[in-house]
Structures are given as structure tokens and as C-alpha cells.
Amino acid sequence: MSGLALLDYASVLVFALTGALVASRAQLDLVGFAFIACLTAVGGGTVRDLLLNRHPVFWVGQPDYILIAVAAAVLVFFTAHLVESRYNWLVWLDSFALSVAVAAGTGAALSLDQSGVIVVLMGISTGCLGGLMRDVVCNEVPLVLKQGELYVSCAFAGALTAVVANLLGFEEFVALAACALTCWALRAGSLLFGWQLPVYKSRPPRN
């Protein structure tokens, strides 16, 4: 099994757990859990593969990804009530999933010799779109757009780190590890220490 496939498996598993946690907050049934888990798990990677013209889409070629997502949904369905704060679990699992998915998307684009701009965009898309779909469908405030926290910027920084490392001649494993670590460190710093970018503040119009 290739390193990129392992990244995809890890991303699918952890994102599926976050999808199932959101489904538990929405009090859905087991089928709803499975649907949201699968949507979250493969949403970003599906968009990535379609944009990169990779055929078949990763989970179509390997249905095991869907089975893993469904298994994660079933696990959370029967255990979510044991968790004291599902939201805290959600945001931290999501931070890990984001980091792994950004590395997976970045690695997929690098393997196809895409330009640096496309590599960064694929990393961001793979990391952010599944969670965005999850939150929109479940009527949650999307974590990707939550004010006062870093999210897309973490994905951008991670993917850019991989591009720079690749240009400097580092091995793919090192570049993708640096990508995931950079992304997660920034996201964790935002959650723990309140790191954020300046936000727009409206001002009254001038006379």
C-alpha cells in the first residue's frame, strides 16, 4: 500500500468520526450517521480527484473507504453518549483530519507533477470541503468559516510548506510530514491560544 493511500485511509477514518459526531449532535438515526460520515470522509477527496481528472475516484476504485466510514459511524452511534463533550472531541478530531487530508491532497497533486498553485489548492480542497459539506448539511456553523479561528489558513500553510520542501529537494515523505505538522500546529495553536488573523471591522461611512 502506498503512502498516499495510507493518508487517504487515515483521513477517511478521522473525518468519518467527526461526521458521526456532528450527526449525534443533530440526533440523526443510524442511516443518517452513515450518510454524514461518508459525506465528510470522502467529500474533499472526491472533489480533488474530479478536478485532477483521476479515474476512478479513490473510493470508487477502493470501496473499502466507504466501509471504513460506515464502521466509524456505527461506532460513534453506540458510544457518543459516553463522551462528556462531543464538541471538544469534534474540533480536535477535525484538526487531525484536516492535517492528514491536506497532506493527502497535496501528495496527490505532487504525484501528478502539478504546478505549485494547483498543489496548494488541492491540499486546501481535500482538507476543507468534506467538513464544510458536513456542517452545512447538519445546519452547524461551519468550522471552516468560524470567526476567530484559523482553519483554511492552516491548510494553506501546510500545503505551501510541502511545495517549498519539494522544491528544496526533500523526499516526498518529509515534505508531506512537514505539511501535516505545520497545518496541525497552527490549528492547535488557534484552538489552545486563540491564534487568529485580523478580521474585517466595518466603519461608519465618511461624510
The pLDDT, as a whole number, for residue 2 is 82
Query: Are 185 and 177 in contact, with CB atoms under 8 Å apart?
Result: no
Q: What pTM value is reported for the model?
A: 0.94
Q: How many CB atoms lie within 10 A of CB 198?
A: 5
Output the CA–CA distances (angstroms, integers) from residue 119 to 31, 45, 131, in the order listed: 35, 13, 20
pLDDT reading at 206 higher than 80: no
The pLDDT, as a whole number, for residue 207 is 61
What share of the chain in percent tops pLDDT 70? 99
pLDDT digits (tens, 9 = 90+) for 10-39: 999 999 999 999 999 999 999 999 999 999
The pLDDT, as a whole number, for residue 72 is 98
